Amino acid sequence: MAYPVPSAPKRTPLTAAVGSAASGHHALPTVEEVSAGGVVVDTATDELRVAIIARFNRGGRLEWCLPKGHPENAETNEEAAVREIEEETGIQGKVLATLGSIDYWFTVSGHRVHKTVHHFLLRATGGELTIENDPDHEAVDVAWVPLAELGRKLSFPNERRIVDLAREVLPEYL
């Protein structure tokens, strides 16, 4: 008796080269996307809290993640990160360091998306936690989470690695 083979998750990174297609298959068009965001830390408390957001993924599952979004007009990635973090969390921040970039592939609406997200470490400089200023209304919740507990709260392993980098460089700025 044959059992059905489960399909691959939608966010599985593709290993094929862009534009190549297996025999008998049509290549999907590819779109490049860039986002910027990061780890905004409240250094005024001993527990070093980080502002993160919750949103629903395309499958309807709630995910806790670092705030991020697309650069607008002539914004640099740093400027976009500062603006997006404030829009999605209500927290203003100042960039302290670059934490690196992650990239991944996913398929949506008949095309492949290659997304690169640039992450920065920021010190919170003001504001109050809120999702009310998120123009896209992607964030459904926002929370301060102690840096030490962040790895258990974030949904994505690649963002947990970014937080590990933030934890390594943060002492230079305290």
Give me the pLDDT at residue 154, please: 97
Q: Indicate whether 131 belongs to any domain.
A: yes
In a domain, 24, yes or no: no
The gap from C-alpha 52 to its chain's centroid, in whole angstroms, comes to 10
Q: Which helix (H) or strand (E) holds 150?
A: helix 150-153
- What per-residue string of b and e applies to 10-40 under the rule 16 or more CB within 10 Å gives b? eeeebeeeeeeeeeeeeeeeeeeeebbbbbb
pLDDT for position 18:
33
In a domain, 13, yes or no: no
In a domain, 19, yes or no: no
What integer pLDDT is reported at residue 90 of this predicted model? Answer: 97
Q: What confidence score (pLDDT) does residue 26 get?
A: 58
Residue 2 lies in a domain: no
For 87, how many CA atoms within 13 A lie in the half-sphere containing its CB? 19
Residue 113, burial from CB neighbour count under 10 angstroms (0-12, 13-18, 19+) = middle
For position 97, which CATH number holds?
Answer: 3.90.79.10
For 25-80, what is each residue's pLDDT tens digit? 458 899 999 999 999 999 998 889 999 999 998 789 999 999 999 999 999 999 99
- Which one is predicted more confidently, 6 or 130? 130
Q: Which residues contact 83 (CB under 8 A, 6 or more apart)?
A: 69, 72, 75
Return the H-helix or E-strand segment holding 121: strand 111-127
Question: With 60 as the cut, is the pLDDT of residue 3 above it?
Answer: no
Does position 21 have pLDDT exceeding 50, yes or no? no
Q: Pick 14 or 9 by higher pLDDT.
A: 9
Q: Is residue 55 part of a domain?
A: yes
Q: What is the mean pLDDT of residues 161-171?
A: 95
8 confidence band (pLDDT: 50, 70, 90): very low
Domain range for 34 is: 30-172
Residue 87, domain member (yes or no): yes
pLDDT in tens, 103-145: 988 888 888 989 999 999 999 999 999 998 888 888 999 999 9
Residue 5 has pLDDT above 80, yes or no: no
**Number of domains composing the chain:** 1
Residue 21 belongs to a domain: no
State pTM to two decimals. Answer: 0.81
